[in-house]
Amino acid sequence: MSPFVIVIVLMAAMLHAVWNAIVKTAEDRTTMLGLVALGHVIPGAVMVALLPLPAVESLPYVAASTLVHFGYFYMLGRAYAHGDLSVVYPIARGIVPALVALWAMLFAGEVLPPQAWGGIALIACGIQLSSWQALRSGVGRAALGYAVGTGICISAYSLIDGLGVRLSGNTLSYWAWGAFLHLFVASFIGLRKKASLGAVRPRSWIIGIGGGFVSMTAYGLVLYAKTFAPLGAVSALRETSVIFAALIGFVFLHEGNWMRRLGAAVLMAGGVALIGTSL
């Protein structure tokens, strides 16, 4: 895997951790998720108006991804309602690399070399170490269930979009439609929260929609990388977002300790190196 692709995915990982921290620290996480979704819709609508349609073969993947993203937003919101960022995030993301690599092998015929699987394993271990104390102290059944559900949704849309963008003939068009169709998530949450939307402060609107821009950018970088590299490897590199989330949790939310986070970062760096030199 080229250094350029690795850098792209690591940038996406950092951006992904930022918007998850925005949601976790919000007073009303459901409303914030709706604003994040709206932050996808606005630039997505502009791009849809300017760009050609993606190839017809990719449209079922756009629809399927939209449905799975709906479930993802729901699961994520419920997970953060029941658990800390430093607990929910590593569980949700920790199961994703192996699942995506497995789905890619079964449905796309992508077989990773043993060295790449070793890198995935190191990243998975780093994810768990990043919040080991929090995980040892106990994870509520609800938080665990929603975190696992979130991870399954992530692995599903990672595979769907990885296949879909390769059929689209135009990565930007595929990205634009995926972002624009967050309209369903934003509308659903808006209807549920319509009684309280008037009380949402302008600052929250700005932060939420800005978080959506960040999230959309992060996923666009991942989609671009998936056109060049195996899905399982891209997914594993993307999950280094956990260490960024852990650092955010430690510095700004006072969750966890720096020594364990540093150890996790070393493991993940080793995993990135193994993956990068094996493909």
Write down the pLDDT at residue 179: 95
Write down the pLDDT at residue 268: 75
Alpha-helical segments (H) within 108-140: 114-129, 132-136
pLDDT in tens, 21-78: 777 777 787 888 899 999 999 999 999 999 999 999 999 999 999 999 889 888 888 8
Report how far residue 194's alpha carbon sits from residue 200's, in angstroms, rounded to the nearest whole number: 10
- On whether the CB atoms of residues 77 and 30 are closer than 8 A, the answer is yes
Reported for 104-107, long-range contacts at CB under 8 A and 24+ positions apart, including other chains, are 104/159, 104/162, 104/230, 104/231, 104/232, 105/232, 107/159, 107/163
Taking 70 as the pLDDT cut, the residues of the chain under it are 85-86, 130-139, 246, 249, 253-258, 260-262, 265, 279
Which residues in 74-84 are b (16+ Cβ under 10 Å) and which e? Answer: bbbbbbbebbb
Helix then strand count (H, E) for the chain reads 14, 0
Domain boundaries along the sequence of the chain:
3-278
Report how far residue 6's alpha carbon sits from residue 18's, in angstroms, rounded to the nearest whole number: 19
